[in-house]
Amino acid sequence: MPLPDPRCGMGRTYFGTSGIRGRVGEDVDAALALSVGRALAGEADSVVVGRDPRTTGPMLVDALAAGLTECGADVVEVGMAATPTVARSVAWRGADAGVSVTASHNPAPDNGLKVWQPSGQAFDQAGQDRLVERIESGSFERQAWDAVGERRPWDGARERHAAAIADAVSVDDPPHVVVDVGNGAGGVSIDALRRIGCRVETLNAQPDGAFPGRPSEPTAENCRTLAATVANSEAEMGIAHDGDADRMMAVTGEGEFIPGDVLLALFARGMAGAGDTVTVPVDTSLLVADALDAVGAETVRTRVGDVFVAEGAVETGAVFGGEPSGAWIFPGETLCPDGPLAAAKLVERVAEEGSLAELVGAFECYPTRRTTVDVEDKEAVMERVRGAVAERFPDAEVDTLDGVRVDLGDAWFLLRASGTEAKVRVTAEARDPARADALFERAEALVADAA
């Protein structure tokens, strides 16, 4: 949904699957942050604000805080902090909302804003719509000179977060861990693991909004240095975060990067038992459902995006929710994706059950095929795709929750429009490689024909 520039009425950016995010100066600027602050003050008397290390963060924090205080809301500033630290601080400070100024795993030229509820859950669609409505209408309640809000610092957020993480796990024999912070705001992960008793070595631990050590997103390619460091040391595992530490990925003691679906299955099996549910996005591998079926637990599919995974967890009473991209939600602790908490939970599993390599070795990766197709009108293409799927797969289970997901029992494919670009993403998976290849070709052809 477009957010207009209050100066000229033209659409500037939008709430995507994870807040507002885009290139600074093009999609995201101080005017936008000011408007979001003014709009949020319409329903929040006190707001926690923090940021990741990006060089544009202080500018956007100042603009956001100006909008909030101009319209009467008080601002609790936690400074540079991991996004889960900001989200969890809303409840700790008795505030009404929180805002992380971050572009998460995006590159250095980007920035954004993510808005949090006291539960730790990101603003849902209804909350986002209310903010957009105020911005579009300009219905801000500016206050008189003697009724504007105040900005107050709080220096205890990181320590409080580290203590909460340490309290959430029990580790008798702490492993040796290498933590790659990625020059981001996730130093709280180091604090928490040391509180637990781990021997911790660090990579890229100095916050730097240019992300000189590696690109912010903790992919297998970007974590090669972490993998090599762990493999050539006595460390038993490695942890990697993105720029704001809402994501967490891991490598084994042998230096093998763990695919996101496998890590999701590992967490889910550790949390769920017979009768429990786990929420996952529609693009999650079959191996997660298979792993949970084995213990009598169930997966519930949601739209892609941690806000939807969290919403699904609340609606179904799920014991865990996660995305293969590295966002892990433990509803018993918080509804925000908390990378440092996930790191501690993984450390706990290794301490209790043995090597990480052995734990992940219990899960079989299925062949998955992915591509992205450029299209002129993604909405029109997806409308034609829906009709074609109904015609060509009449006996399949078709889910249109987020794109078009066709489940054939032993295989599935997903056709989903990009939230930011004129593209359609194609994913296909099967337990057999030849079956995956064949289904992928059929799925790709559906998009080509519809385009």
Q: Kindly state the DSSP code that residue 70 receives in the 8-state scheme.
A: H
Are 255 and 275 members of one domain? yes
CATH number at residue 375: 3.30.310.50
Are 178 and 146 members of one domain? no
Are 99 and 225 members of one domain? no
Query: Under a CB-based contact definition with an 8 Å cutoff, are residues 316 and 300 in contact?
Result: yes
* Cα–Cα distance, 82 to 216 (Å, whole number): 13
Last residue of a domain, one of 297, 331, 360: 360
Q: Domain range spanning residue 14?
A: 2-155
Are 195 and 223 members of one domain? yes
CATH number at residue 313: 3.40.120.10
- Residues 438, 444, 445, 450: is their CA dihedral positive or negative? positive
Q: Are strands 176-180 and 110-116 parallel, antiparallel or unpaired?
A: unpaired
Last residue of a domain, one of 329, 360, 391: 360
Instruction: Please give the helix or strand (H or E) that residue 48 lies within, else none.
Output: strand 46-51
Are 65 and 140 members of one domain? yes
pTM (2 d.p.): 0.92
Query: Under a CB-based contact definition with an 8 Å cutoff, are residues 226 and 238 in contact?
Result: yes
Q: How many CA atoms lie within 13 A of 86 on its CB side?
A: 31
> Mean pLDDT by 10-residue block, N- to C-terminus, for the chain (451 residues)?
33 64 93 97 97 98 98 98 98 98 94 96 91 92 97 97 98 97 98 98 97 96 98 97 97 97 96 97 94 96 93 96 96 97 98 94 92 92 94 93 94 88 92 96 94 88
Are 281 and 396 members of one domain? no
* Residue numbers annotated as active site: 104
Are 146 and 165 members of one domain? no
Are 354 and 426 members of one domain? no
Are 214 and 279 members of one domain? yes
CB neighbours of 241 closer than 8 A, spacing ≥ 6? 82, 179, 180, 181, 182, 184, 186, 189, 218, 247, 248, 339, 340, 343
What pLDDT does residue 425 have? 93
Are 349 and 426 members of one domain? no
Last residue of a domain, one of 118, 139, 155: 155
CB neighbours of 347 closer than 8 A, spacing ≥ 6? 169, 171, 174, 175, 177, 193, 196, 198, 237
- Residues 9, 416, 382, 374: is their CA dihedral positive or negative? positive
Are 405 and 424 members of one domain? yes
Which residue type is seen at 162?
A
What pLDDT does residue 420 have? 64
Query: Under a CB-based contact definition with an 8 Å cutoff, are residues 13 and 20 in contact?
Result: yes
What pLDDT does residue 125 have? 86
* Cα–Cα distance, 14 to 171 (Å, whole number): 42
Are 415 and 332 members of one domain? no
Q: Considering its fold, how many domains does the chain have in total?
A: 3
